[in-house]
């Protein structure tokens, strides 16, 4: 094997050194700076993205807090509106019921007065008819002349006894 021959060691070492120096310079001056710049760009891009993500997260949290506050305000306003509507409904219902009660009481009073008037008119008519019947009956049965005031007195006494 020629690589192991001592005669070629010096030339092999020379070319090894040349190749190593060339490779070292190539890596040191060309490849590694490019790789380093790519890594730096990548690192800065990642850091920028993380900063932007944190900013967006903070903005999102602020927006979420605003939304939660608005929701709470709307719930409060809604509950107040419902309470107001409920109290207005109760007031209107109460007023309507009061007006209806007044109307019914007024109608009941009118009807009661009409019934009393009809009752008194009926009683007067009954008294008149009783008077006429009694007068006719007495005149037919007997020839006794009784005055109208006496018949009226008797009818009133009988009515008083009947009512008691």
pLDDT of residue 14: 92
Range(s) of the domain holding residue 61:
2-163
Q: How confident is the model at residue 163 (pLDDT cuts 50, 70, 90)?
A: low
Q: How confident is the model at residue 164 (pLDDT cuts 50, 70, 90)?
A: low
CA distances from 83 to 69, 92, 95 (A): 21, 14, 18
Please count the structural domains in the chain. 1
- Could you give the percent of the chain with pLDDT greater than 70? 98
Model pTM score: 0.46
What average pLDDT does the segment 112-124 reach? 88
What average pLDDT does the segment 7-22 reach? 90
């Amino acid at each position: 094997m020629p690589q192991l021959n001592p005669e070629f060691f010096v030339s092999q070492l020379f070319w090894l050194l040349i190749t190593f120096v060339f490779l070292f310079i190539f890596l040191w001056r060309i490849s590694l700076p490019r790789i380093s710049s790519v890594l730096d760009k990548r690192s800065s891009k990642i850091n920028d993205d993380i900063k932007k993500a944190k900013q967006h997260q903070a903005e999102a949290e602020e927006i979420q807090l605003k939304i939660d506050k608005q929701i709470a305000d709307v719930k409060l306003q809604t509950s107040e509106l419902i309470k107001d509507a409920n109290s207005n409904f109760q007031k209107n219902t109460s007023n309507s019921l009061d007006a209806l009660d007044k109307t019914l009481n007024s109608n009941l009073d009118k009807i009661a007065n009409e019934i009393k008037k009809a009752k008194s008119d009926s009683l007067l008519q009954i008294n008149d008819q009783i008077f006429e019947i009694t007068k006719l009956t007495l005149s037919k049965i007997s020839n006794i002349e009784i005055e109208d005031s006496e018949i009226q007195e008797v009818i009133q006494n009988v009515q008083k006894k009947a009512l008691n």
